[in-house]
Amino acid sequence: MKIVIIGGTGRIGSKVVTLLRERRHQAVPASPESGVNTLTGQGLAEVLAGAAVVVDVSNSPSFEDAAVLKFFETSTTNLLAAEAAAGVSHHVALSIVGIDGAPDSGYFRAKVAQETLIRNSSIPYSIVRATQFFEFFKSIADEATDGNTVRIAPVLFQPIAADDVAKAVSRVAVSAPVNGIVEIAGPQQFRFDEFIRLGLRARQDPRVVAADPQARYFGTELGERTLVPGADARLGDIRFEDWLAQSAVHAAPA
């Protein structure tokens, strides 16, 4: 089966390509580097010819409110139109757990707009909403740092490893469309501040993590359960401490 992965050279997309090829599918990565541009429509008709499934794991190059909204609206509109013309029978998109409950976040509003376009199209679809990735714990901490203090809201948090995200997206891609949302998350719940504290401690980062209920995340204040999935979420296998240990091994000098 031919499956086109939009954003197929990125963190998640490259893993999805590898997993699908291991299952003997024709997994085709598509990105501006390969001559496919969803913002302009360049290369879409050619790459989608004969495709049964499209997996969209692309992301905006800018997180500024207007820019990110324009990216997801334009890219998704062009992609869905090209899919309809090519006879694609399943559109899979990677999204984020909790975006409905964070209206102050421009990035989350843009993902809601993307999901709305997908739901209103004629193409059967599956939206995979993931919690935050382990891989972003340091960038989250950096964004929340004031001097030597990292201010994080002490709300529930259930992050997931990128490898588990890719596995979940790959499984959905080769299954029947759900015409709805599939939530995925890691196997452990933390307090958000404790998660960041554990990650920084493992990296011997001296910054102090402070629990601050007013601390914002992607521009929005958080409720207790904004960032955790519902009871029916599919859970990954990789635990944070195991990921930290493994990533430390890979980062160690030879």
| 19-41: pLDDT as tens digits | 999 999 999 999 999 999 999 99
Give the contacts of 216 (CB within 8 A, at least 6 positions apart): 104, 153, 222
pLDDT of 218 reads 85
Q: Is the pLDDT of residue 254 over 50?
A: no
pLDDT of 51 reads 98
Query: What average pLDDT score do residues 182-191 get?
Result: 98
Per-residue confidence at 138, pLDDT binned at 50, 70, 90?
A: very high
Q: Report the 10 Å Cβ neighbour count for 153.
A: 23
Percent of the chain scoring above 90 in pLDDT = 91
pLDDT of 103 reads 81
Q: Is the pLDDT of residue 68 over 90?
A: yes
| 155-182: pLDDT as tens digits | 999 999 999 999 999 999 999 999 999 9
Q: Which two tokens stand for residue 40?
A: 């302009």
Q: Is the pLDDT of residue 12 over 80?
A: yes
pLDDT of 250 reads 52
Distance CA(239)–CA(52), nearest Å, equals 34
pLDDT of 249 reads 54
pLDDT of 132 reads 96
**Sheet strands side by side (includes 208-211):** 145-146, 149-152, 208-211
Per-residue confidence at 252, pLDDT binned at 50, 70, 90?
A: very low
Would strands 208-211 and 149-152 be described as parallel, antiparallel, or unpaired? parallel
Query: What average pLDDT score do residues 122-144 get?
Result: 96
pLDDT of 253 reads 42
Distance CA(21)–CA(11), nearest Å, equals 16
| Domains of the chain and any CATH numbers | 2-251 (3.40.50.720)
Output the furthest CA–CA distance in the chain (Å, rounded).
54
**Sheet strands side by side (includes 180-185):** 26-30, 2-6, 53-56, 90-96, 125-130, 180-185, 234-235
Per-residue confidence at 247, pLDDT binned at 50, 70, 90?
A: confident
